[in-house]
Every structure is written in structure tokens, then in C-alpha cells.
């Protein structure tokens, strides 16, 4: 009898250490690797690994304990339990905006520029290029 055996197909986790195991690219769509979550602006959010994908590799296998170097492993997380990536709070955003605004205001002419005042001049480019700066000698 011939059985088309798909390597690593083990949704029950009976052969691969208790974790449901799928061949690369054959995992259910609601599961994703950390990298895939990150691409969607998500993070695992403290949930345990709920499955893994395995594939044959020559280059970068053996990352998990007890897994031969010829097998690559990636852990999968449930998208439903994933959380949005940490974003700055409103207060933090406000503080950042304020700091940026302060850096755009020229201490000499008090004009808010659409760029940050270059630190090495200490004034905006207009003030820097103005041939005679007020109070600048006779
Ligand atoms: Zn200026």
C-alpha cells in the first residue's frame, strides 16, 4: 500500500514533542509566526506557542532543542490572541511632538521652521546665512 506521507504533518502533536506540527506553508491560516504577526502590526502578547512548522533545511535548522540540524522550526501563535504592537501613549506622543516643535523654533528669530534648527549653527538657516546678525559687531 502506498501512502503519500507528508513530512511533518502532525496536527495532533503526537510525533513532535506535543506541539501540533505542520509542514512549512501548510499551517492553518489563523496561526502565524512572530515575523508574520509583526508584518501585520501584531505581537504574540504573552500567549504560549500553540503550534510549530517544520521544514527540511540545509542552512539554518537545529534551532530547537532535540531537533536535528537538517530541520528548521518556527513557532506559531494564534492570531486571535495576538495583540497590537506597543505604541506610544497619547501623552508620550504629545511630549515627542512638543520636543520636535521646540527644536524647530529658532532661538534667534523665534520662527517655527519646517526643519529642526541645525545644532551646529544653533540658529535657523535664514539667521545663519543672514550676513549681518543683529548685535553682531559694527
Ligand atoms: Zn532664525
* CA angle 69–72–74, rounded 5-degree value: 140
* Whether residue 79 sits in one domain with residue 28: yes
Distance 94 CA to ligand 1 centre (A): 24
- % of residues, the chain, pLDDT over 90: 54
Distance 128 CA to ligand 1 centre (A): 7
| 44-63 average pLDDT score | 82
Distance 98 CA to ligand 1 centre (A): 19
Torsion of CA 89, 90, 96, 101, to 10 degrees: 170
* Whether residue 98 sits in one domain with residue 76: no
Residue 79 lies in a domain: yes
Buried b (16+ CB within 10 A) or exposed e, 39-52: eeebbbeeeeeebb
- Residue 68: pLDDT band (50, 70, 90) is confident
Return the pLDDT at 63: 59
Q: Which three cell numbers stand for residue 57?
A: 533545511
Distance 92 CA to ligand 1 centre (A): 28
C-alpha 24/C-alpha 7 separation (Å) is 10
Domain that holds residue 40: 21-84
Total domains in the chain come to: 2
Distance 61 CA to ligand 1 centre (A): 58
* Whether residue 77 sits in one domain with residue 26: yes
C-alpha 123/C-alpha 127 separation (Å) is 6
The per-residue pLDDT for range 76-133, each reduced to its tens digit, is 999 999 999 877 788 888 998 899 899 999 999 999 999 999 999 999 999 999 876 5
Higher model confidence: residue 88 or residue 34? Answer: 34
Residue 6 lies in a domain: no
66, 84, 102: which is the final residue of a domain?
84
Distance 108 CA to ligand 1 centre (A): 5
Distance 122 CA to ligand 1 centre (A): 9
* Whether residue 32 sits in one domain with residue 78: yes
Residue 11 lies in a domain: no
Residue 62 lies in a domain: yes
Buried b (16+ CB within 10 A) or exposed e, 71-93: bbbbbbbbbeebeeeeeeeeeee
Distance 26 CA to ligand 1 centre (A): 60
Residue 23, pLDDT above cutoff 70:
yes
Residue 136 lies in a domain: no
- Residue 60: pLDDT band (50, 70, 90) is low
Residue 23 near residue 64 (C-beta atoms within 8 A): no
Return the pLDDT at 1: 43
97: left (phi over 0), alpha (psi -120 to 50) or beta: alpha
Residue 5 lies in a domain: no
Amino acid at each position: 500500500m502506498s501512502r503519500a506521507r507528508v513530512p511533518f504533518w502532525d496536527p495532533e502533536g503526537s510525533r513532535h514533542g506535543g506541539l501540533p506540527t505542520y509542514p512549512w506553508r501548510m499551517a492553518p491560516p489563523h496561526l502565524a509566526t512572530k515575523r508574520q504577526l509583526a508584518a501585520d502590526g501584531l505581537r504574540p502578547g504573552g500567549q504560549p506557542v500553540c503550534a510549530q512548522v517544520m521544514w527540511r533545511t540545509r542552512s539554518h535548522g537545529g534551532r530547537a532543542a532535540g531537533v536535528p540540524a537538517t530541520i528548521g522550526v518556527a513557532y506559531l501563535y494564534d492570531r486571535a490572541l495576538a495583540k497590537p504592537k506597543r505604541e506610544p501613549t497619547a501623552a508620550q506622543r504629545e511630549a515627542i511632538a512638543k520636543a520636535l516643535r521646540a527644536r524647530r523654533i529658532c532661538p534667534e528669530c523665534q520662527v517655527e521652521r519646517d526643519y529642526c534648527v541645525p545644532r551646529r549653527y544653533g540658529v535657523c538657516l535664514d539667521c545663519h546665512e543672514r550676513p549681518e546678525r543683529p548685535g553682531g559687531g559694527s
